[in-house]
Chains A and B, each alone.
Chain A
């Protein structure tokens, strides 16, 4: 991988909510095609970090460069950058007033001016990929959590993003539905998608991650490949956290 030219470069980022420091001098680079898993205790800043990458949170200081563009520079068009960065939320956030198919086609039709037929053809391909073709005409309320999350992944992919961000995509799911969502994510990873995933699914981290990031109190404590991270964590805080969750 071309380490000189990372697709995401986060440098010395601080983020305050009022006087509370949610991110404390965070630096992280992600190369194209890399899969990074972020773990850490509740309130450690994992979501905040993820959300700064597509500027759902604006940072207080530091720089974030995504695909060559400083996303906080006045000259860059954040909407264009966001279209290249897909995001999957813990609570799915499917558009409740739209059918599954329309959830997938809304952004391509309105933003990329794709013809409806073309957008729908592509949407059906993506639904095929996540195993949701037979629910194309359903509404989100009619789907289980696992199904909604698979549709949400397909919706993000419909914009052909270069990067996918996942914020605890399986935390809101009943245990029996976690597997179907992880399977989709593993497939996506195999296809070479650049992924940053906040998750507590350690099996997924071991199987898919190129590196695992451990956060605590707004800081990145440790970054390591999964084998070393899980088997020989360098920091005592990481060790304690792993003991608690494994």
Chain B
């Protein structure tokens, strides 16, 4: 059954632009080209110190992306398991998944990061970046779990019944029929989570992981150019998230295409 309740979805990712928006001045274009313009202006007219600042950041950008991709990968796996658990009729599996989601959602991400990081440190010696990835993935996996659950539930029961009637078992029906369709519903919120996660990776800078923010802080504490450094960091994050939201909106558009006649 289609759930007719209106969902007000205030994602914490960047706004995903609508590709059908054909006006010359879209919010995305103003933000993106405005940001590039300001960066260009700073680099040309205030070369010192902005050139030094931006040259200091690429290593951090690479680290930010590594943490983001690895964490989202882990979050997707955990999210799929948690989402399947939440709709499972198996009481143990269902309770375990629900508890995981409740607990994770009730604790601030920063606190979880510290907690997992130091708890993990007691048990095994893992590199800082790995600990950070596990913590981020664990946390975002819970949010992903709800996304997967909603995506799976959005697929009509008839699809599963048709699969079962052909001789597929439940997990085959899930794998071959339900998930490939749910993916289209899941993709937009996953995209939002991806961008939100990229921004939240700035939190790992407190865990001795040299992401964009930490590289910036190192630069600022040596040069005392706090304002200039954080200006550049904000601009760099903005460019990255704007590019990502554009890519996501295009992918989404293409996936939706075949659904229309």
Contact = CB atoms under 8 A, between A and B. Distances in A.
Interface of A: 54, 56, 79-80, 82-83, 85-87, 89, 91, 93-97, 106-107, 110-111, 139, 141-142, 152, 155-156, 159
Contact of A159 (B164, B167, B177): B167
B152 to A, nearest CB: 14
B252 to A, nearest CB: 15
B167 A107 contact: yes
A82 B164 CA distance: 7
A110 B167 CA distance: 10
Contacts of B162: 87, 89, 93-95, 152, 155
B161 A159 contact: no
A110 B172 contact: yes
Given A82-B167, A83-B167, A141-B261, A91 B158 contact: yes
A163 B229 CA distance: 73
A56 B165 contact: yes
A156 to B, nearest CB: 7
B168 A110 contact: yes
A164 B35 CA distance: 63
B158 A87 contact: no
A156 B165 contact: yes
Contacts of A107: 166-168
B259 A93 contact: no
Contact of A156 (B158, B166, B259): B166
B141 to A, nearest CB: 25
B261 A96 contact: no
B176 interface: yes
A230 to B, nearest CB: 30
12 contacts: A89-B162, A91-B156, A95-B181, A96-B159, A96-B181, A97-B180, A107-B167, A111-B167, A141-B260, A142-B261, A152-B162, A159-B166
A166 to B, nearest CB: 12
A52 to B, nearest CB: 13
B31 interface: no
A91 B162 CA distance: 10
Contacts of A97: 177, 180-181, 184
Given A96-B181, A97-B181, A139-B258, A83 B166 contact: yes
A87 B165 contact: yes
B161 A93 contact: yes
B223 interface: no
B107 to A, nearest CB: 37
B169 interface: yes
